[in-house]
Amino acid sequence: MRDVSKFLSGFKRFQQSYLGEHHDLFDQLVQQGQRPRALMIACCDSRCDPALLTDCDPGDMFVVRNVANLVPPHVQATYFAATTSAIAFAIHNLEVEHVIVMGHAQCGGIRALLEHKTPTCNEEELITKWLGIAEEARLKVLQALPGKPIETLSQACEQAAILVSLENLMSYPWVRQRVDDGKLDLHGWYFDMRQGELLEYHPEHGTFDVLVPHLEVESCTP
């Protein structure tokens, strides 16, 4: 079994940076509390740490992570309170100005949703119940892309699930009110790990377009 020394070494580097060289920032966060501008709803996938992907400092972003970056609809809020209470805290208590739902390529949760297997144990039942939040996305993709390869279906469903979460966010009266008042903006982002790009959903034409393009790295080979 692997040990946790890598994480301990990482914490020491954090100490040196934020409790040493840049201690003023952390002192301020301790004394004045957190005031993040954005709530990020992201996937639990270990390859998609939102703070790492966006190079944020402590205090910049309030993060909620769950399987497949899903938001339950308002009618199911009490059934999935771990996610919905965090969203409520970010919007009501912290008064964030932005909510970003960030999906990603190769999402295992969305792949499981598409495979639609019958649960065979308690663990699978929990996962299946949670992924049911995005059932609408699965059905739409299967109807729109019959017979397509699983890779094509997966990417389409990953992006469709982001839209379901954005729609579900608007089912909360206190979210809709803040959006209507111009105090809150909702964003749908998609991290394409294969291309190294960040895409954003544009509702005016219903597509995910490149927000941050692929980085062209010059070869150092003579």
Domain for residue 220, yes or no? no
How does pLDDT run across 57-103, given as a tens digit for each residue?
A: 999 999 999 999 999 999 999 999 999 999 999 999 999 999 999 99
> Cα–Cα distances in Å, from 132 out to 75, 120, 187, 190?
14, 16, 22, 20
Judgement on whether residues 124 and 50 belong to the same structural domain of the protein: yes
Say if residue 6 is in the same domain as residue 51: no
User: What is the average pLDDT across 54-59?
Assistant: 94
* Alpha-carbon span 218 to 220, nearest angstrom: 6
Same domain for 96 and 178, yes or no, is: yes
pLDDT of residue 219: 54
**Residues 91 and 66 reside in one and the same domain:** yes
Using a pLDDT cut of 70, give the percent of the chain over it: 97
222 has pLDDT over 60: no
pTM for the model: 0.93
Q: Does any domain span residue 221?
A: no
Which residue bears the tokens 């339950």?
72
Contacts of 65 (CB under 8 A, 6+ apart): 41, 42, 43, 44, 50
- State how many domains the chain has: 2
pLDDT surpasses 80 at 221: no
Are residues 67 and 27 both part of a single domain? Answer: no
For tokens 């944020």, the residue is 56
2 pLDDT tier (thresholds 50, 70, 90): confident
Express each pLDDT in 25-46 by its tens digit. 889 999 999 999 999 999 999 9
Looking at the fold, whether 78 and 26 belong to one and the same domain comes out as: no
Residue 125 belongs to some domain of the structure: yes
Residue 85 within a domain: yes
Q: Please determine, for residue 198, whether its predicted confidence score (pLDDT) is greater than 70.
A: yes
CA-nearest of 14, 36, 32, 34 to 23 is: 14
Asked whether residue 150 falls in the same domain as residue 61, the answer is yes
SS3 content of the chain, % helix, strand, coil (to 5): 50, 20, 35
Predicted pLDDT of residue 1:
59
6 & 57 share domain: no
Domain limits for position 183: 34-212
Q: Are residues 29 and 103 in the same domain?
A: no
Residues 87 and 24 in one domain: no
Calculate mean pLDDT across residues 126-147.
Answer: 97
Domain of residue 139, CATH code: 3.40.1050.10
Instruction: Mark whether 18 and 82 lie in a shared domain.
Output: no
Short-list 131, 38, 123, 119, CA closest to 76: 131
* pLDDT tens for each residue of 169-180: 999 999 999 999
pLDDT band at 3 (very low <50, low <70, confident <90, very high): confident
| Structure-block tokens of residue 85 | 């209470």
25/50 same-domain check: no
**Number of CB atoms found within 10 A of residue 76's CB:** 15
